[in-house]
Protein backbone atom coordinates (compact mmCIF):
# COMPACT_ATOMS: atom_id res chain seq x y z
CA UNK A 1 0.00 0.00 0.00
CA UNK A 2 1.35 3.45 -0.92
CA UNK A 3 2.27 5.96 1.75
CA UNK A 4 -0.47 8.32 0.72
CA UNK A 5 -3.09 5.58 0.88
CA UNK A 6 -1.94 4.74 4.40
CA UNK A 7 -2.28 8.37 5.46
CA UNK A 8 -5.78 8.51 4.00
CA UNK A 9 -6.75 5.36 5.91
CA UNK A 10 -5.33 6.75 9.13
CA UNK A 11 -7.25 10.01 8.62
CA UNK A 12 -10.44 8.03 8.03
CA UNK A 13 -9.89 6.10 11.24
CA UNK A 14 -9.22 9.27 13.23
CA UNK A 15 -12.25 11.07 11.81
CA UNK A 16 -14.45 8.90 14.04
CA UNK A 17 -12.92 10.15 17.30
CA UNK A 18 -13.75 13.84 17.65
CA UNK A 19 -11.72 14.11 20.88
CA UNK A 20 -8.60 13.64 18.77
CA UNK A 21 -9.53 16.14 16.05
CA UNK A 22 -8.32 19.71 15.86
CA UNK A 23 -9.84 22.03 13.28
CA UNK A 24 -7.52 24.97 12.87
CA UNK A 25 -6.68 27.93 10.66
CA UNK A 26 -3.37 29.61 10.16
CA UNK A 27 -3.77 33.33 9.84
CA UNK A 28 -1.20 36.02 9.27
CA UNK A 29 -0.36 39.34 7.76
CA UNK A 30 0.91 38.96 4.18
CA UNK A 31 4.54 37.76 3.91
CA UNK A 32 4.83 36.80 7.57
CA UNK A 33 5.36 33.18 6.48
CA UNK A 34 2.04 31.37 6.54
CA UNK A 35 2.65 29.45 3.29
CA UNK A 36 6.18 28.43 4.28
CA UNK A 37 4.94 27.32 7.69
CA UNK A 38 2.05 25.34 6.22
CA UNK A 39 4.27 23.58 3.70
CA UNK A 40 6.74 22.58 6.38
CA UNK A 41 4.00 21.33 8.68
CA UNK A 42 2.73 19.18 5.83
CA UNK A 43 6.23 17.92 5.08
CA UNK A 44 6.82 17.18 8.77
CA UNK A 45 3.58 15.21 8.89
CA UNK A 46 4.73 13.24 5.83
CA UNK A 47 2.13 14.76 3.50
CA UNK A 48 4.53 16.25 0.95
CA UNK A 49 8.21 15.68 0.25
CA UNK A 50 10.37 17.85 2.52
CA UNK A 51 12.57 18.72 -0.49
CA UNK A 52 9.62 20.40 -2.12
CA UNK A 53 8.33 22.26 0.91
CA UNK A 54 8.70 25.97 0.36
CA UNK A 55 9.00 25.53 -3.40
CA UNK A 56 5.88 23.54 -3.98
CA UNK A 57 3.55 25.89 -2.12
CA UNK A 58 1.16 23.01 -1.61
CA UNK A 59 -1.62 25.21 -0.34
CA UNK A 60 -1.52 27.57 -3.30
CA UNK A 61 -3.67 25.42 -5.52
CA UNK A 62 -4.82 27.99 -8.02
CA UNK A 63 -2.48 28.77 -10.88
CA UNK A 64 -3.44 32.36 -10.53
CA UNK A 65 -2.23 32.32 -6.95
CA UNK A 66 1.11 30.84 -7.88
CA UNK A 67 1.59 33.48 -10.54
CA UNK A 68 0.72 36.29 -8.20
CA UNK A 69 2.56 34.65 -5.35
CA UNK A 70 -0.28 35.15 -2.92
CA UNK A 71 -2.80 32.77 -1.46
CA UNK A 72 -6.32 33.59 -2.61
CA UNK A 73 -8.64 30.66 -2.10
CA UNK A 74 -9.04 29.00 1.26
CA UNK A 75 -7.57 25.55 0.67
CA UNK A 76 -7.82 22.67 3.07
CA UNK A 77 -5.60 19.82 4.16
CA UNK A 78 -5.78 17.13 6.77
CA UNK A 79 -2.72 15.65 8.45
CA UNK A 80 -2.01 13.33 11.34
CA UNK A 81 0.20 14.09 14.33
CA UNK A 82 1.13 11.95 17.27
CA UNK A 83 1.08 13.79 20.60
CA UNK A 84 1.36 12.11 23.99
CA UNK A 85 1.09 8.69 22.38
CA UNK A 86 -2.21 9.54 20.72
CA UNK A 87 -2.57 10.17 17.04
CA UNK A 88 -4.47 13.34 16.17
CA UNK A 89 -6.22 14.41 13.00
CA UNK A 90 -5.44 18.01 12.24
CA UNK A 91 -7.73 19.63 9.70
CA UNK A 92 -6.11 22.80 8.53
CA UNK A 93 -7.86 25.53 6.64
CA UNK A 94 -5.70 28.00 4.84
CA UNK A 95 -6.78 31.61 5.01
CA UNK A 96 -5.87 34.33 2.59
CA UNK A 97 -3.23 36.68 3.94
CA UNK A 98 -4.29 39.50 1.73
CA UNK A 99 -6.56 42.10 3.27
CA UNK A 100 -9.02 42.35 0.42
CA UNK A 101 -9.99 38.72 0.97
CA UNK A 102 -11.27 39.42 4.47
CA UNK A 103 -14.53 37.60 3.78
CA UNK A 104 -12.71 34.36 3.10
CA UNK A 105 -10.76 34.69 6.32
CA UNK A 106 -13.98 35.01 8.28
CA UNK A 107 -15.56 32.04 6.56
CA UNK A 108 -12.52 29.92 7.36
CA UNK A 109 -12.81 30.97 11.01
CA UNK A 110 -16.37 29.66 11.14
CA UNK A 111 -15.10 26.15 10.34
CA UNK A 112 -12.33 25.99 12.95
CA UNK A 113 -11.86 26.06 16.72
CA UNK A 114 -8.28 27.31 16.89
CA UNK A 115 -6.36 30.02 15.05
CA UNK A 116 -2.61 29.88 14.82
CA UNK A 117 -1.62 33.50 14.38
CA UNK A 118 1.74 33.93 12.66
CA UNK A 119 3.70 37.12 13.30
CA UNK A 120 7.03 38.08 11.75
CA UNK A 121 9.51 38.67 14.60
CA UNK A 122 11.11 41.61 12.80
CA UNK A 123 7.97 43.38 11.59
CA UNK A 124 5.82 42.65 14.62
CA UNK A 125 2.02 42.86 14.60
CA UNK A 126 0.54 44.47 11.51
CA UNK A 127 -2.99 45.57 10.42
CA UNK A 128 -3.90 42.10 9.11
CA UNK A 129 -2.77 40.50 12.37
CA UNK A 130 -5.36 42.62 14.10
CA UNK A 131 -8.03 41.78 11.52
CA UNK A 132 -7.52 38.01 11.74
CA UNK A 133 -7.49 38.11 15.53
CA UNK A 134 -10.67 40.12 15.55
CA UNK A 135 -12.32 37.64 13.19
CA UNK A 136 -11.13 34.66 15.24
CA UNK A 137 -12.35 36.09 18.55
CA UNK A 138 -15.69 37.16 17.16
CA UNK A 139 -16.28 33.60 15.94
CA UNK A 140 -15.28 32.16 19.33
CA UNK A 141 -12.04 30.70 17.95
CA UNK A 142 -9.12 30.37 20.37
CA UNK A 143 -5.81 31.97 19.37
CA UNK A 144 -2.23 30.73 19.77
CA UNK A 145 0.86 32.51 18.49
CA UNK A 146 3.78 31.48 16.30
CA UNK A 147 6.50 34.11 16.06
CA UNK A 148 8.29 33.45 12.78
CA UNK A 149 11.55 34.53 11.15
CA UNK A 150 13.49 34.38 14.42
CA UNK A 151 16.52 33.43 12.28
CA UNK A 152 16.55 37.03 11.07
CA UNK A 153 16.95 38.33 14.61
CA UNK A 154 20.07 36.22 14.91
CA UNK A 155 21.59 36.42 11.43
CA UNK A 156 20.59 39.87 10.25
CA UNK A 157 20.04 41.90 13.39
CA UNK A 158 22.78 40.04 15.29
CA UNK A 159 20.74 40.04 18.49
CA UNK A 160 21.89 38.32 21.67
CA UNK A 161 19.69 36.19 23.97
CA UNK A 162 18.38 39.14 26.02
CA UNK A 163 17.56 41.35 23.07
CA UNK A 164 15.86 38.42 21.39
CA UNK A 165 13.74 37.66 24.42
CA UNK A 166 12.82 41.31 24.79
CA UNK A 167 11.72 41.48 21.19
CA UNK A 168 9.67 38.30 21.46
CA UNK A 169 8.08 39.57 24.67
CA UNK A 170 7.17 42.78 22.94
CA UNK A 171 5.42 40.89 20.11
CA UNK A 172 3.57 38.74 22.68
CA UNK A 173 2.58 41.89 24.61
CA UNK A 174 1.22 43.49 21.46
CA UNK A 175 -0.80 40.39 20.55
CA UNK A 176 -2.22 40.22 24.07
CA UNK A 177 -3.15 43.89 23.94
CA UNK A 178 -5.13 43.15 20.79
CA UNK A 179 -6.83 40.13 22.39
CA UNK A 180 -7.70 42.06 25.52
CA UNK A 181 -9.04 44.98 23.51
CA UNK A 182 -11.30 42.69 21.51
CA UNK A 183 -12.43 40.10 24.04
CA UNK A 184 -11.91 41.16 27.63
CA UNK A 185 -13.93 38.21 28.97
CA UNK A 186 -12.15 35.57 26.95
CA UNK A 187 -8.84 37.16 27.85
CA UNK A 188 -9.61 36.64 31.50
CA UNK A 189 -10.54 33.02 30.79
CA UNK A 190 -7.00 32.38 29.64
CA UNK A 191 -7.21 33.29 26.00
CA UNK A 192 -4.19 35.55 26.29
CA UNK A 193 -1.15 33.86 24.79
CA UNK A 194 1.72 33.05 27.09
CA UNK A 195 5.20 31.59 26.76
CA UNK A 196 4.85 29.86 30.13
CA UNK A 197 1.53 28.24 29.23
CA UNK A 198 2.97 27.02 25.94
CA UNK A 199 0.51 28.98 23.78
CA UNK A 200 3.41 30.75 22.12
CA UNK A 201 6.02 29.06 19.95
CA UNK A 202 8.72 30.72 17.90
CA UNK A 203 11.24 29.76 15.28
CA UNK A 204 11.93 29.80 11.61
CA UNK A 205 9.46 28.40 9.10
CA UNK A 206 12.10 28.84 6.40
CA UNK A 207 14.80 26.85 8.18
CA UNK A 208 12.29 24.44 9.67
CA UNK A 209 13.00 24.73 13.40
CA UNK A 210 10.94 26.05 16.27
CA UNK A 211 10.79 26.01 20.02
CA UNK A 212 8.51 26.75 22.94
CA UNK A 213 8.80 26.52 26.71
CA UNK A 214 7.60 22.88 26.80
CA UNK A 215 10.09 22.04 24.05
CA UNK A 216 12.93 23.89 25.83
CA UNK A 217 12.14 21.93 28.98
CA UNK A 218 12.21 18.68 27.07
CA UNK A 219 15.37 19.30 25.05
CA UNK A 220 17.30 21.62 27.37
CA UNK A 221 18.01 23.87 24.38
CA UNK A 222 17.78 27.55 25.39
CA UNK A 223 18.09 30.89 23.57
CA UNK A 224 21.88 30.95 23.79
CA UNK A 225 22.04 27.45 22.25
CA UNK A 226 19.71 28.47 19.44
CA UNK A 227 21.92 31.42 18.64
CA UNK A 228 24.99 29.15 18.68
CA UNK A 229 23.43 26.66 16.28
CA UNK A 230 22.58 29.50 13.92
CA UNK A 231 25.96 31.20 14.11
CA UNK A 232 27.91 27.94 13.73
CA UNK A 233 25.96 26.88 10.69
CA UNK A 234 24.48 23.91 12.55
CA UNK A 235 20.88 24.46 11.53
CA UNK A 236 20.52 20.81 10.57
CA UNK A 237 21.13 19.81 14.18
CA UNK A 238 18.76 22.42 15.56
CA UNK A 239 16.13 21.22 13.10
CA UNK A 240 16.67 17.65 14.23
CA UNK A 241 16.42 18.43 17.97
CA UNK A 242 13.65 20.96 17.68
CA UNK A 243 11.66 20.38 14.49
CA UNK A 244 9.13 22.99 13.46
CA UNK A 245 6.30 20.54 12.82
CA UNK A 246 6.64 18.75 16.16
CA UNK A 247 6.73 21.93 18.19
CA UNK A 248 3.88 23.65 16.37
CA UNK A 249 1.61 20.59 16.08
CA UNK A 250 2.21 19.68 19.75
CA UNK A 251 0.99 23.18 20.63
CA UNK A 252 -2.04 22.68 18.38
CA UNK A 253 -2.91 19.32 19.97
CA UNK A 254 -2.41 20.57 23.53
CA UNK A 255 -3.99 24.01 23.42
CA UNK A 256 -6.70 24.08 20.79
CA UNK A 257 -10.05 22.60 21.80
CA UNK A 258 -11.36 19.48 20.09
CA UNK A 259 -14.87 19.73 18.55
CA UNK A 260 -16.53 18.09 21.58
CA UNK A 261 -15.11 20.77 23.83
CA UNK A 262 -15.54 23.60 21.36
CA UNK A 263 -19.00 23.09 19.88
CA UNK A 264 -21.12 23.64 23.02
CA UNK A 265 -19.55 27.10 23.26
CA UNK A 266 -19.32 27.88 19.58
CA UNK A 267 -22.83 26.90 18.54
CA UNK A 268 -24.56 29.69 20.53
CA UNK A 269 -22.05 32.17 19.04
CA UNK A 270 -22.74 31.27 15.43
CA UNK A 271 -26.33 29.97 15.51
CA UNK A 272 -29.44 31.63 16.95
CA UNK A 273 -31.99 28.82 16.45
CA UNK A 274 -34.10 27.12 19.13
CA UNK A 275 -31.59 25.61 21.54
CA UNK A 276 -34.14 23.23 23.09
CA UNK A 277 -34.44 21.08 19.94
CA UNK A 278 -32.81 17.74 19.21
CA UNK A 279 -31.03 19.38 16.33
CA UNK A 280 -29.37 21.86 18.71
CA UNK A 281 -28.47 19.03 21.07
CA UNK A 282 -26.90 17.13 18.15
CA UNK A 283 -24.67 20.12 17.41
CA UNK A 284 -23.65 20.60 21.03
CA UNK A 285 -22.78 16.90 21.37
CA UNK A 286 -21.08 16.57 17.96
CA UNK A 287 -23.52 13.69 17.45
CA UNK A 288 -22.69 11.67 14.34
CA UNK A 289 -26.16 10.13 14.52
CA UNK A 290 -27.90 13.49 14.80
CA UNK A 291 -29.39 15.60 12.00
CA UNK A 292 -26.89 16.62 9.35
CA UNK A 293 -25.81 20.23 9.94
CA UNK A 294 -23.08 21.36 7.57
CA UNK A 295 -21.82 24.94 7.29
CA UNK A 296 -20.29 25.65 3.88
CA UNK A 297 -17.27 27.91 4.13
CA UNK A 298 -15.87 27.65 0.63
CA UNK A 299 -16.86 26.57 -2.90
CA UNK A 300 -14.01 25.37 -5.08
CA UNK A 301 -13.92 24.00 -8.61
CA UNK A 302 -12.43 20.62 -9.42
CA UNK A 303 -11.75 20.07 -13.14
CA UNK A 304 -13.32 16.59 -12.97
CA UNK A 305 -15.85 16.70 -10.14
CA UNK A 306 -17.13 20.24 -10.65
CA UNK A 307 -18.15 22.37 -7.69
CA UNK A 308 -16.90 21.24 -4.32
CA UNK A 309 -18.44 22.61 -1.14
CA UNK A 310 -16.10 22.58 1.82
CA UNK A 311 -17.16 23.26 5.36
CA UNK A 312 -17.58 22.19 8.94
CA UNK A 313 -19.91 19.35 9.82
CA UNK A 314 -21.39 20.27 13.21
CA UNK A 315 -23.72 17.28 13.50
CA UNK A 316 -24.69 14.05 11.71
CA UNK A 317 -22.76 12.06 9.12
CA UNK A 318 -22.34 13.06 5.48
CA UNK A 319 -22.79 10.29 2.91
CA UNK A 320 -23.34 9.98 -0.79
CA UNK A 321 -27.00 9.96 -1.84
CA UNK A 322 -28.33 12.12 1.00
CA UNK A 323 -30.89 14.74 0.04
CA UNK A 324 -30.12 17.90 1.97
CA UNK A 325 -31.72 21.31 2.35
CA UNK A 326 -29.65 24.33 1.41
CA UNK A 327 -30.53 27.53 3.29
CA UNK A 328 -32.16 30.22 1.21
CA UNK A 329 -33.15 27.88 -1.63
CA UNK A 330 -36.17 25.70 -2.34
CA UNK A 331 -36.02 21.90 -2.44
CA UNK A 332 -33.06 19.67 -1.74
CA UNK A 333 -29.73 18.78 -3.33
CA UNK A 334 -28.36 15.23 -3.49
CA UNK A 335 -24.83 14.57 -2.26
CA UNK A 336 -22.76 12.94 -5.04
CA UNK A 337 -19.57 12.30 -3.08
CA UNK A 338 -17.95 13.12 0.25
CA UNK A 339 -14.28 13.56 0.93
CA UNK A 340 -11.46 15.25 2.77
CA UNK A 341 -8.55 17.29 1.44
CA UNK A 342 -5.00 15.97 1.49
CA UNK A 343 -2.45 18.46 0.27
CA UNK A 344 -4.18 20.26 -2.58
CA UNK A 345 -6.13 17.14 -3.51
CA UNK A 346 -9.51 15.85 -2.48
CA UNK A 347 -9.78 12.24 -1.37
CA UNK A 348 -13.18 10.62 -1.56
CA UNK A 349 -14.20 8.63 1.50
CA UNK A 350 -17.30 6.60 2.36
CA UNK A 351 -18.62 9.02 4.96
CA UNK A 352 -17.56 11.93 7.11
CA UNK A 353 -18.87 12.15 10.71
CA UNK A 354 -19.61 15.26 12.81
CA UNK A 355 -16.70 17.39 13.99
CA UNK A 356 -14.76 17.23 10.73
CA UNK A 357 -14.06 19.47 7.77
CA UNK A 358 -15.68 17.78 4.78
CA UNK A 359 -15.59 18.36 1.01
CA UNK A 360 -18.74 17.34 -0.84
CA UNK A 361 -20.03 17.43 -4.40
CA UNK A 362 -23.63 17.65 -5.53
CA UNK A 363 -24.67 20.73 -3.52
CA UNK A 364 -25.37 22.74 -6.64
CA UNK A 365 -27.37 25.44 -4.85
CA UNK A 366 -24.87 26.02 -2.04
CA UNK A 367 -22.69 29.08 -1.80
CA UNK A 368 -20.02 29.97 0.73
CA UNK A 369 -21.99 30.70 3.89
CA UNK A 370 -24.87 28.24 3.18
CA UNK A 371 -26.28 26.07 5.93
CA UNK A 372 -26.89 22.54 4.60
CA UNK A 373 -29.04 20.20 6.66
CA UNK A 374 -31.15 17.06 6.68
CA UNK A 375 -34.15 18.91 8.17
CA UNK A 376 -35.16 22.50 7.52
CA UNK A 377 -33.57 24.67 10.17
CA UNK A 378 -32.64 28.20 11.18
CA UNK A 379 -29.48 28.94 9.18
CA UNK A 380 -26.23 29.92 10.83
CA UNK A 381 -25.68 33.59 11.46
CA UNK A 382 -24.55 35.34 8.33
CA UNK A 383 -20.86 35.95 8.21
CA UNK A 384 -19.99 39.59 8.51
CA UNK A 385 -16.97 40.80 6.67
CA UNK A 386 -14.63 43.09 8.47
CA UNK A 387 -13.63 45.61 5.88
CA UNK A 388 -10.54 47.69 6.00
CA UNK A 389 -8.45 49.69 3.58
CA UNK A 390 -6.94 47.57 0.81
CA UNK A 391 -3.17 47.43 1.08
CA UNK A 392 -1.48 46.12 -2.02
CA UNK A 393 1.64 44.01 -1.80
CA UNK A 394 4.71 46.01 -2.75
P1 LIG B 1 2.77 34.38 3.43
O2 LIG B 1 2.47 35.54 2.53
O3 LIG B 1 2.42 34.69 4.86
O4 LIG B 1 2.21 33.08 2.97
O5 LIG B 1 4.38 34.26 3.46
P6 LIG B 1 5.35 33.24 2.74
O7 LIG B 1 5.38 31.94 3.40
O8 LIG B 1 5.09 33.27 1.26
O9 LIG B 1 6.75 33.95 3.05
C10 LIG B 1 7.04 35.28 2.61
C11 LIG B 1 8.55 35.42 2.43
O12 LIG B 1 9.19 35.27 3.71
C13 LIG B 1 9.18 34.35 1.53
O14 LIG B 1 10.21 34.96 0.81
C15 LIG B 1 9.72 33.33 2.52
O16 LIG B 1 10.83 32.62 2.00
C17 LIG B 1 10.15 34.22 3.68
N18 LIG B 1 10.10 33.50 4.97
C19 LIG B 1 9.10 32.74 5.46
N20 LIG B 1 9.44 32.25 6.66
C21 LIG B 1 10.67 32.72 6.95
C22 LIG B 1 11.56 32.54 8.05
O23 LIG B 1 11.31 31.85 9.03
N24 LIG B 1 12.78 33.20 7.97
C25 LIG B 1 13.12 33.97 6.91
N26 LIG B 1 14.32 34.57 6.94
N27 LIG B 1 12.31 34.15 5.85
C28 LIG B 1 11.09 33.52 5.86
d(C-alpha 79, C-alpha 46), whole Å: 8
Q: CA 349, CA 356: separation in Å to the nearest integer?
A: 13
| pLDDT recorded at residue 158 | 93
Is the pLDDT at 51 greater than 80? The verdict is no
Does the predicted interface ipTM exceed a cut of 0.90? yes
pLDDT higher than 50, residue 113: yes
Distance 26 CA to ligand 1 centre (A): 14
Residue 371's pLDDT is what? 95
* pTM of the complete model: 0.89
Tell me how far the alpha carbon of residue 58 lies from the centroid of ligand 1, in angstroms.
Answer: 14
Ligand 1 centroid from CA 204, angstroms: 9
Q: In this predicted structure, what is the pLDDT of residue 59?
A: 46
Q: Compute, in angstroms, the gap from residue 153 CA to the centroid of ligand 1.
A: 14
Question: Higher-confidence residue: 360 or 109?
Answer: 360
Residue nearest to atom 21 of ligand 1 (CA): 206
Residue 138's pLDDT is 87
Closest ligand 1 atom to residue 38 Cα is: 7
Ligand 1, atom 9, residue with closest C-alpha: 33
pLDDT digits (tens, 9 = 90+) for 200-234: 999 999 999 999 999 999 999 998 999 999 999 99
Closest C-alpha among 230, 237, 239 to residue 158: 230
Residues 313-333 pLDDT 10s: 999 999 999 999 999 999 899
**Under 8 Å between Cβ of 248 and 346:** no
- Distance from the CA of 30 to the center of ligand 1, in angstroms? 9
Give residues with Cβ within 8 angstroms of 347, minimum separation 6. Answer: 8, 11, 339, 340, 341
Q: How many helices (H) and strands (E) does the chain have?
A: 14, 17
How far does residue 179's CA lie from ligand 1's centre (Å)? 25
In this structure, the residues whose C-beta lies within 6 A of any atom of ligand 1 are 28, 30-36, 71, 97, 148-149, 151-152, 204-206
Alpha helices of 209-319 — where are they, by DSSP H? 213-219, 223-231, 235-241, 244-255, 259-270, 278-285
Q: Specify the ligand 1 atom closest to the Cα of 70.
A: 2
Distances (CA, A) of 74 to 60, 94, 165: 9, 5, 34
Q: Report the distance separating Cα 15 and Cα 116, nearest Å.
A: 21
The confidence score (pLDDT) of residue 96 equals 57
CB 294 within 8 A of CB 311: yes
Q: Which pLDDT score is estimated for 391?
A: 46
Lowest mean pLDDT across 104-113, 224-233, 385-394: 385-394
- In testing the pocket of ligand 1, which one of 33, 72, 146, 392 has its CB within 8 Å of the most ligand atoms? 33
Ligand 1 center–CA 353 separation, angstroms: 35
Is the confidence at residue 286, as pLDDT, over 60?
Answer: yes
Amino acid sequence: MGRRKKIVQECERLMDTPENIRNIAIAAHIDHGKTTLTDNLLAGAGMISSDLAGEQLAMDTEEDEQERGITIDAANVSMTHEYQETNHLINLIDTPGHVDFGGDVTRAMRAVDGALVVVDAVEGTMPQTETVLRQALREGVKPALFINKVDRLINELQEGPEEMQERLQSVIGDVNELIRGMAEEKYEEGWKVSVQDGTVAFGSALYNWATSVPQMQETGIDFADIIEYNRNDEIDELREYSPLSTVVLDMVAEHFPNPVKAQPERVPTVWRGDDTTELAEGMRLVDDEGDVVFMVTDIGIDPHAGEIATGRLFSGTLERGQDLYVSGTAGTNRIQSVGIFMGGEREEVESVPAGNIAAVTGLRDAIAGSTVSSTEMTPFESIEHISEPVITKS
